[in-house]
Amino acid sequence: MTSVLICGGAGYIGAHMLKMLALQGYDVVVFDNLSTGHRAAVRWGKLVEGDILDPSALERLFATNRFDVVIHFCALSLVGESVRDPYNYYRNNVAGTLNLLEAMRRARVGKLVFSSTASVYGIPRDDGRLDELHPTIPINPYGVSKLMVERVLQDAAHAYGLRSVALRYFNAAGADPEGDIGESHVPETHLIPNVLRAALGVGDGALQVFGDDYDTRDGTCVRDYVHVNDLASAHLHAIHFLEKNPGAHCFNLGSGKGATVLEIIAATREVTGRTIPFTRMPRREGDPAMLVADTRRAEAGLGWQPVFSDIRDIIETAWRWHCSPHY
C-alpha cells in the first residue's frame, strides 16, 4: 500500500486530497499546525499536529512513519498579507519548505507533489491565457515565495535526485459534492464563497466588485475557476507521474475557461435563487483583466482533465456546503 504524507491536509484543498486518497486505498497521514486548517476536516486519516517551521517535529514525524511520497500544501497564501508581512511568507513558505525537504532527504523519501500557484507568472502578456513557458515575474511576496521553492526543487532534482511536480493552481473553487468538507477561511478572500455569503445574507458588509471598466465582455475581471476535486485528482495523477519521471516538473491546473465577476454573480443567483447585492468599487492595483490557464501540458503529461466544466456545477457544490457547513 502506498503511504502518503499530506502536509496541510486539514486545509481546504488538503482535506479534499485526503478524502480522495483514503477512498482509493492509500495509507494517509496528515501533518498540520491547524492555524488555518480544521481538525474536523481530517476524517479519513491520522492527524499529527506539528509545524514545518519546527525541524524536530518533522524529524519525529519521519522517524515514526514510512512515506512513499509527500504532498505539500502548507503555505500562507493571502496576497495582500504577503505584501504587508513578507518576512512571515518567506519564513513559512520558503524556510519551512526547506525544513521539509531536508527531513525528506534524511528519511530517503524521494517524491514530492508541491502546491504552487499561477501567481508565479505575475502580470500576463497578450490575451491573459497562460502556459508554462510564460515568463515568471511575480508581483507579490506570495508569488515570489512559491517561485523560490520551484527553483529549489529544480536544484534538488539535480543534486539529490528528488522527483517533484509543482502544480500551479488558478482559482480553486467548489466543495466536496457529498457535502462532507468545504471551504472555510477566516478571513474569506475568495470570490465565490463571498458571493455565496452575500446570497445567505452573512458577512461583514456588502459584496464588492473591484473595477468594471476592464477590456472584457462586461468590464469586470476574468478568472479561471477549477473545482477543488479536480485539483485533488491532478495530485493523484502527479503521484503516478513521479513513478516513471525523474526531475522537477511544473503544470498549470485550471479549467481552461474564464468567467467574469459579474458572470459568477449571475450564475450564483441562478443556482441559489437568491438576490445578491453588491457594490461597484474602483480597480485594485495589480489586478490583471484576464487570467486563464492553458492546461494542455497537464492534459498531455499527467493525463488529467477537469471533470467540472460548468461554473454553475462548481458553484452548486459550494452552495451545498455553505448552507450547512460542518466546521
Catalytic residues: 142
Alpha carbon distance 243, 90 (integer Å): 30
In single-letter form, the type of residue at position 100 comes to L
Residue that the C-alpha cell 473591484 belongs to = 210
Residue 297 burial (CB < 10 Å; 0-12/13-18/19+)? Answer: middle
Q: Closest Cα to residue 131, out of 256, 292, 300, 294?
A: 294
| SS3 per-residue string spanning 78-136 | CHHHHHHCHHHHHHHHHHHHHHHHHHHHHHCCCEEEEEEEHHHCCCCCCCCEECCCCCC
- Asked whether 277 and 200 are in contact (CB, 8 A), the reply is no
Residue 279 burial (CB < 10 Å; 0-12/13-18/19+)? Answer: exposed
For 287, phi then psi, to 5°, come to -85, 110
Q: Which three cell numbers mark 321?
A: 456546503
Alpha carbon distance 305, 227 (integer Å): 11
